[in-house]
């Protein structure tokens, strides 16, 4: 039987214990969902590092980015027996009608010469910035196009989760291009179709009327540079390109994405 891939015998290549926390009062809860790429002969991973304060008996606490607080972050601390607290989900909790995540994530680089042994940077590479990223940034995809690396990631806040975009040429300086898909959207990757088109497919959860449909079914939203968009079948498999319904979206020309921008939905 043909094997497309084989599991690396020395997995896991990284553990939470291998990652130094970004602050002395934080613990690294998990490391997951990296974007992988090659740069100057080395293999890089842009890791999602999820942190939180040590949990105290009888209390629930989580960090939230806040530029007005000391260190740019405040700790929300709630009594576990509060009738206004619902903490049944280990990933999040609800307090006074507001949903919070149990961890705060940032993105951090790790480098390897052989793809097996990685050295993790001591400090975060990218952290949440602005009101749409107060709950952190997560799950980055990395695409290299003509010597520039395009990073698409989940930007999370009390408003929900959308897709943010950052680019870099050297992994030292970064250009932020803001949110390219509003909530509720995530899991986006930039790909090239043909020699000149850049396409960004993104699948969101059940669509809301405000997203342009009242059907309530999952909707694939497509942002396309060029004249065609991704066409997927009902199972989400890529089957080719088709013309997108043209509607002017946010101006990405300043981000180095030259060409006409069209959005499609299916």
User: pLDDT tens digits for the chain (266 residues)?
Assistant: 678 888 888 899 999 999 999 999 999 999 999 999 999 999 999 999 999 999 999 999 999 999 999 889 999 999 999 999 999 999 999 999 999 999 999 999 999 999 999 999 999 999 999 999 999 999 999 999 889 999 999 999 999 999 999 999 999 999 999 998 888 888 888 887 665 445 555 555 543 333 333 344 444 554 544 444 444 444 444 444 444 343 333 433 333 333 333 334 44
Report pLDDT digits (tens) over 96-150.
Answer: 999 999 999 999 999 999 999 999 999 999 999 999 999 999 999 999 988 999 9
Yes or no: say if 160 and 28 are a contact pair by the CB < 8 Å rule.
no
Yes or no: say if 137 and 127 are a contact pair by the CB < 8 Å rule.
yes
Instruction: Please choose, from the candidates 122, 110, 109, the residue with its C-alpha nearest in 3D space to the C-alpha of residue 20.
Output: 122
**CA atoms 167, 48, 130, 206: torsion sign:** positive
- Residue 147 DSSP class: T
Q: Regarding beta strands 42-52 and 261-265, do their DSSP bridges make them parallel or antiparallel, or are they unpaired? A: unpaired
**What pLDDT is recorded for position 58?**
95
**What pLDDT is recorded for position 8?**
86
Q: All domains of the chain, ordered by start, with CATH?
A: 13-189 (2.115.10.20), 191-266 (no CATH)
Yes or no: say if 35 and 141 are a contact pair by the CB < 8 Å rule.
yes
Both tokens of 69, joined, read 């607080």
Partners of 197 in the beta sheet?
193
Both tokens of 121, joined, read 């940077």
Cis peptide before 188 (omega within 30 of 0): no
**What pLDDT is recorded for position 200?**
57
DSSP 160-223: EEEEEEEEESSSSS-EEEEEEE-SS-EEE--EEETTTEEEEEEEEEEPPGGGT-SS-SEEEEEE
Cα distances (angstroms) measured from residue 99 to each of 63, 65, 87, 107, 160:
13, 15, 10, 22, 9
pTM, to two decimals: 0.78
| Whole-angstrom Cα Rg for the chain | 20
Both tokens of 213, joined, read 């449909």
Yes or no: say if 27 and 53 are a contact pair by the CB < 8 Å rule.
yes
Scored b (16 or more CB within 10 A) or e, 180-198 reads bbbbebbbbbbeebeeebb
Residue entry with tokens 């990757």: 189
User: How many residues in total does the chain contain?
Assistant: 266
């Amino acid at each position: 039987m043909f094997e497309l891939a084989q599991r690396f015998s020395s997995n896991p290549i990284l553990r939470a214990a291998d990652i130094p926390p970004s602050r002395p009062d934080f613990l690294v809860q998990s490391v997951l969902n990296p974007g992988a790429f090659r740069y100057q002969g080395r293999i890089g991973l842009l890791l999602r590092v999820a942190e939180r304060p040590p949990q105290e008996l009888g209390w629930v606490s989580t960090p939230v980015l806040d530029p007005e607080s000391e260190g740019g972050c405040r700790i929300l601390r709630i009594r576990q027996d509060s009738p206004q607290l619902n903490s049944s989900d280990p990933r999040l909790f609800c307090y006074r009608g507001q949903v919070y995540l149990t961890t705060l994530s940032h993105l951090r680089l790790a480098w390897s010469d052989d793809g097996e042994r990685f050295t993790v940077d001591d400090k975060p590479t990218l952290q949440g910035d602005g009101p749409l990223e107060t709950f952190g940034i997560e799950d980055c995809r990395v695409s290299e196009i003509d010597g520039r690396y395009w990073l698409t990631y989940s930007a999370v806040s009390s408003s929900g989760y959308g897709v943010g975009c950052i680019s870099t040429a050297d992994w030292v300086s970064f250009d932020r291009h803001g949110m390219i898909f509003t909530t509720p959207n995530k899991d986006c990757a930039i790909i090239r179709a043909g020699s000149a088109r850049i396409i960004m497919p993104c699948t969101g959860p059940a669509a809301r009327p405000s997203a342009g449909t009242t059907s309530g079914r999952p909707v694939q939203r497509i942002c396309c540079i060029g004249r065609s968009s991704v066409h997927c079948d009902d199972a989400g498999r890529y089957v080719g390109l088709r013309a997108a319904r043209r509607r002017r979206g946010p101006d990405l020309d300043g981000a180095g994405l030259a060409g006409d921008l069209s959005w499609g939905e299916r």
